[in-house]
């Protein structure tokens, strides 16, 4: 008999927040600055969820020798696109700006309900801490999470289990009582590799057919459906 779920770990981009416009615009600016041809938008979306260097190479056809420069440009352009400035100390989110990120429907309400019911929540993301914490504070959900692990905290990123396992170490929780929620096959494989149950969301950056190839325990079409699984 499986243990009841007490802990939920969430991906951020494409799961909690719709950052796709921000990412695609930043990716386009980066690729153009490098003098490379723009790939189709579907290809650029395919890399979202991977660590930045791998995302850029997969999504933008960026050769290995340009990957470091591309990552540097991406960070610069992302801050301009999302926050209107490169100065990390001055970053402010303008909800009306082109490329501004928003929470998906039902996310905040569902997270608040989960916390009120006694579930322990964490974030397992490939995003860096500097921009992640700004998003979380802007959306008013920072305090809902007991642990946050970013790509900077682990040696082996998604789909390796390290991000989830470090979250669970910080939360003092076990994999068999944990549900990992994400919008990409990398998230589902990360959760499975850590020994957790998994739930894919179909509204993010990968469609239901692709998500099914990673064999999640559940697929939902809205975050509002999550409580029904528990």
Q: Which residues contact 204 (CB under 8 A, 6 or more apart)?
A: 13, 14, 15, 182, 183, 184
Band (pLDDT 50/70/90 cuts) for residue 1 is: low
What per-residue confidence (pLDDT) applies to 228?
94
Domain 20-90 coded CATH 1.10.150? yes
Tens-digit pLDDT profile for residues 80-102: 787 765 544 444 444 445 556 78
What per-residue confidence (pLDDT) applies to 102?
87
Tens-digit pLDDT profile for residues 190-225: 999 999 999 999 999 899 999 999 999 999 999 999
The DSSP letter of residue 128 is -
- Cα–Cα distance for residue pair 176/161, rounded to 1 Å: 14
Which carries the bigger pLDDT value, residue 85 or residue 66?
Answer: 66
What per-residue confidence (pLDDT) applies to 85?
55
- Cα–Cα distance for residue pair 43/51, rounded to 1 Å: 16
Q: Which CATH architecture has domain 7-18+101-229?
A: 3-Layer(aba) Sandwich (3.40)
Which carries the bigger pLDDT value, residue 163 or residue 133?
Answer: 163
Band (pLDDT 50/70/90 cuts) for residue 121 is: very high
- Cα–Cα distance for residue pair 226/230, rounded to 1 Å: 7
Residue 58 has pLDDT above 90, yes or no: no
- The percentage of the chain sitting over the pLDDT mark of 70, rounded to a whole number, equals 92
- Cα–Cα distance for residue pair 106/83, rounded to 1 Å: 24
CA nearest to 111, candidates 121, 125, 103: 121
Q: Domain residues of the chain, as ranges?
A: 7-18+101-229, 20-90
Q: Residue 189 has which token pair?
A: 């494989």
Band (pLDDT 50/70/90 cuts) for residue 16 is: very high
CA nearest to 201, candidates 135, 132, 103, 130: 103
- Rounded average pLDDT over 166-175: 98
């Amino acid at each position: 008999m499986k243990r009841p779920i007490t802990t939920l770990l969430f991906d951020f981009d494409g799961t909690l927040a719709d950052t796709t416009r921000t990412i695609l615009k930043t990716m386009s600016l980066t690729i153009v600055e490098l003098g490379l041809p723009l790939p189709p938008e579907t290809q650029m979306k395919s890399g979202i969820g991977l660590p930045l260097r791998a995302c850029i190479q997969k999504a933008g056809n960026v050769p290995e020798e340009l990957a470091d420069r591309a990552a540097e440009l991406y960070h610069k352009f992302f801050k301009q696109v999302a926050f209107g400035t490169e100065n990390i100390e001055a970053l402010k989110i303008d909800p009306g700006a082109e490329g501004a990120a928003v929470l998906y429907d039902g996310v905040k309400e569902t997270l608040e309900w989960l916390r009120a019911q006694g579930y322990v929540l964490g974030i397992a993301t490939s995003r860096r801490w500097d921009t992640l914490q700004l998003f979380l504070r802007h959306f008013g959900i920072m305090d809902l999470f007991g642990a946050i692990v970013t790509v900077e905290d682990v040696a082996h990123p998604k789909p390796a289990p390290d991000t989830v396992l470090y979250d669970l170490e910080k939360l003092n929780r076990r994999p068999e009582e944990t549900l990992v929620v994400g919008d990409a096959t990398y998230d589902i494989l990360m959760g499975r590799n850590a020994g957790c149950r998994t739930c894919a969301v179909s509204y993010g950056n990968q469609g239901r057919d692709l998500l099914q190839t990673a064999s999640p325990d559940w697929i939902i079409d809205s975050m509002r459906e999550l409580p029904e699984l528990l």
